[in-house]
Amino acid sequence: MRVTVNGERRETAAESVAALLRELEHDGTHFAVAVNADVVPRARWAERLLSGGDAIEILTPRQGG
């Protein structure tokens, strides 16, 4: 299916947020995920299913001034 990840259109076989993160090899603990502008709690990444056309944002905190 085709989704948009951080503004980039991608083809994916992932069916859930957790599977997409594995597919993208996105490891770590300090980031958040939103699907169609709704933040998905980490505890629900495995159960939050994706659909074609979804817009996924992987957000990482930044420091600086």
pLDDT at position 21 = 96
CA 20 to centroid of chain Cα atoms: 6
Average pLDDT estimate for 33-49: 97
Residues paired with residue 4 on neighbouring β-strands, in sequence order: 9, 55
In 1-65, the DSSP E strands lie at 2-5, 8-11, 32-35, 38-40, 55-59
Rg of the chain over all Cα atoms, to the nearest angstrom: 12
Please give the pLDDT value at position 58. Answer: 96
Residue range 2-59, CATH number: 3.10.20.30
Look at residue 65 in the predicted model and tell me its pLDDT. Answer: 63
pLDDT at site 27? 82
pLDDT in tens, 29-38: 889 999 999 9
